Amino acid sequence: MLRIAVPNKGSLSEVAAAMLTEAGYSGRRDSRKLVHADVKNDVEFFYLRPRDIATYVGSGALDVGITGRDLLLDSGSEAHEISELDFADSTFRFASPAESGIVDIAQLAGERVATSYPKLVDDFLRERGVVAELVKLDGAVESAVQLGVADAVADVVSTGATLRAAGLEIFGPVILQSTAVLIGGPTEHAGIERLLRRLRGVLVARKYVIMDYDLPVDQLEAATSVAGGIESPTVSPLKDERWVAVRVMVRADQANEIMDRLYDLGARAILVTAIHAARL
């Protein structure tokens, strides 16, 4: 049985659970349950704190896990990234109040930097020759400067709204671009490949749509350069020989622009449909 660590709480947990359901796995029904076996699919899920997942996987206690890249690096575990999972995208940044005058990481030497990711931040600063005093907090790090326990913070930034609300401004280089990742440990379990193929199928189904349209046959080359599909568009004859029916996969976020361009080439009856599952 493949033993999979999944986040039990926090911003990763809901999307991770939804992805696994879309990938055809059964999940726990009771949120207090910490283990769930999906016997049919030969996998066992362990619901763990996102921060602890890399530790379990890196030690070999569990075969794979879903966590954030920032949490993986902060853990110092031996676990490695197998694949990005296209959610929980964030950047990890330094911030301070404008009036502090701290605009460069060199100015952090000897200063107090609050963070929930002390190893990540310490490694980053040390590699750049800066020795700061790290103040480890569990969350709501943005309040640390206002409350007087730190001079600057280093934290996850998504929209930047939390920083702005706390009167902080980003400075210095990007510490890390983070995203949710599938991580593996010291031994390669044979079941990992199937899990990964299923999860990639979910990512494709979320990211792409199917586009069908009718096209004057002489516009096929031009239309293919607008939307080339994964391998090549599927082209079927229509009864009227001057027309063909075309089917391609396109990025969902580009669908409207592509429809406009195909329409301009003479395409008509352009239909877009969702993909429920995929295996490329």
Ligand X SMILES: O=P(O)(O)OC[C@H]1O[C@H](OP(=O)(O)OP(=O)(O)O)[C@H](O)[C@@H]1O
- Name the residues that contact ligand X, by CB under 6 A: 11, 139-142, 155-162
HSE-CB at 19 with a 13 A cutoff on CA atoms is 27
* CB of 125 or CB of 156, closer to ligand X: 156
User: Could you tell me the end-to-end alpha-carbon distance of the chain, in angstroms, rounded to an integer?
Assistant: 25
Give me the least distance between CB of 93 and ligand X, in Å please.
9
From ligand X, ligand ATP, none, which one binds at residue 155 (CB under 5 to 8 Å depending on kind)? ligand X
* CB of 115 or CB of 219, closer to ligand X: 115
The single residue among 66, 88, 108, 145 that binds ligand ATP, judged by CB under 6 A, is: 88
Whether the CB-CB separation of 240 and 250 falls below 8 Å is answered with no
Q: Of residues 39-58, which lie at the interface with ligand ATP (CB under 6 A)?
A: 50
Whether the CB-CB separation of 152 and 100 falls below 8 Å is answered with yes
From ligand ATP, ligand X, none, which one binds at residue 100 (CB under 5 to 8 Å depending on kind)? none
Count of CB atoms within 10 A of residue 209's CB? 20
3-state secondary structure of 21: helix
From ligand X, ligand ATP, none, which one binds at residue 68 (CB under 5 to 8 Å depending on kind)? ligand ATP
Give me the least distance between CB of 139 and ligand ATP, in Å please.
5
Q: How far apart are CA 134 and CA 143, in angstroms?
A: 15
* CB of 61 or CB of 140, closer to ligand X: 140
CA 17 to each of CA 45, 47, 63, 179: distance values in angstroms, whole numbers, following the listed order: 10, 10, 17, 16
Q: Which residues bind ligand ATP (CB under 6 A)?
A: 7, 9-12, 50, 68, 70-71, 88, 90, 139, 156, 158, 178
